[in-house]
Structure 1
Amino acid sequence: MEIGTTGETAGPVWVGLPGGLLTLRRLLLVLWTAALTVATGVLLGVLVGPAWAAFGGLWLAVLAWGWVMLGRNWRSWRYAERADDLLISRGVLWREQTVVPYGRMQLVEVTSGPLERRFGLASVQLHTAAAATDAKIPGLVPQEAERLRDRLSELGEARSAGL
């Protein structure tokens, strides 16, 4: 923890994820629910009868619920760099906070799949000796992901227990 100007300890400085990840996830939600709505409506309309085709609209309720849940999940993701470790916090109902000591990191990767690249996003994957403490920060701007990778690698080497 850092010491504030008045002498009391201040908490870590949390950084949230950029909005591109939320946009990507919501776009995928819209595409999948639209496809499922049409497929369900057509199949039910042809196989059972035209009145049953309206049940394809149930996917629209899934869309509305998913839209809200994706926003809540996106807002829950954050990370903080401290002097000796990296904190990653996520989760809405079940809050999960991962603490990765810099000296325990063995590998820091920056990955970006085709959709992530299209939206200008990258993920930072942290690997430690214990698989249970591996951590990932998704949806970062590539420059921030590379900066974070370089900083974590540098701090890991300075602690000389990993990397």
Structure 2
Amino acid sequence: MAMDRLFAPPAERWQAVSPRLCSLRRALLTFWLGLLGLGGAIVAGVVGMWWLGAVIIVVAAAVYAFGWWLIGRNWRSWGYAERGDDLLVTHGVLFRTLVVVPYGRMQFVDVTAGPAERKFGIAKVQLHTATPATDAEIPGLTPDEAESLRDRLAALGEARAAGL
């Protein structure tokens, strides 16, 4: 399909992000939705509306199943490809996005990992350019991948920017 070619790197293969990103997001979904569903059901039971508690649990279970499926689809949509002069980052299922970041336009590269990411052994690499619209991030990288990508991108950015 012509539309699929729009988001495919020419003669390149997408590098996928770690499945740990999917696991992290599903764990967060389980925690927050379980907390909200159980809390709502307990409150409904305390005020004597047991039927409302049952409805809350059924709705929470449906939202949970949909969220579980959606997180898997979203995780599979993330990818990046390194080319000679730029980095391609793609993501999204319903609204697909392809960001092309020329190495010469990169100002700096961040690697971040919050407490939940560290627990799951993943990090996020964020590229900053002179134009915020071309900033890009790649979540769900293993620490080794993130370190290696950060170093390669920083070196390529310095080499390309030196010619400006």
* 2:32 alignment partner in structure 1: 32
The ranges of structure 1 where at least 4 consecutive aligned residues each deviate by more than 2 angstroms after the TM superposition are none
* 1:6 alignment partner in structure 2: none
Contact (CA 8 Å) 1:122, 1:145: kept in 2 or not? yes
Distance in structure 2 (CA, Å) of the matches to 1:50 and 1:18: 42
* 1:150 alignment partner in structure 2: 151
Percent sequence identity is: 55
* 1:50 alignment partner in structure 2: 50
* 2:79 alignment partner in structure 1: 78
Distance in structure 2 (CA, Å) of the matches to 1:126 and 1:90: 15
* 1:88 alignment partner in structure 2: 89
Give CA deviations for 1:112-153 in whole Å, capped at 9, x if unaligned: 111111111111010000011111000100111010000001
- AA aligned opposite 1:74: W
* 1:20 alignment partner in structure 2: 20
Distance in structure 2 (CA, Å) of the matches to 1:93 and 1:133: 20
- AA aligned opposite 1:26: R
Do structure 1's residue 41 and structure 2's residue 29 form an aligned pair? no
SS in 2 for 1:92: coil
* 2:107 alignment partner in structure 1: 106
Contact (CA 8 Å) 1:40, 1:55: kept in 2 or not? no
Contact (CA 8 Å) 1:36, 1:56: kept in 2 or not? no
* 1:5 alignment partner in structure 2: none
- AA aligned opposite 2:106: M
- AA aligned opposite 2:75: W
Say which is worse superposed, 151-160 or 39-48, in terms of deviation: 39-48
Q: Which runs of 5+ in 1 are unaligned?
A: 1-9
Q: TM-score normalized by structure 1?
A: 0.90
Q: CA deviation at 1:55?
A: 1.5
How much is the aligned-residue C-alpha RMSD, in angstroms? 1.3
Q: CA deviation at 1:159?
A: 0.6
Q: Which runs of 5+ in 2 are unaligned?
A: 1-9
Q: CA deviation at 1:47?
A: 2.3
Q: CA deviation at 1:102?
A: 0.2
Q: CA deviation at 1:48?
A: 4.7
* 2:5 alignment partner in structure 1: none
Q: TM-score normalized by structure 2?
A: 0.89
Contact (CA 8 Å) 1:108, 1:124: kept in 2 or not? yes
- AA aligned opposite 1:37: G
* 1:3 alignment partner in structure 2: none
Give the count of matched residue pairs: 153
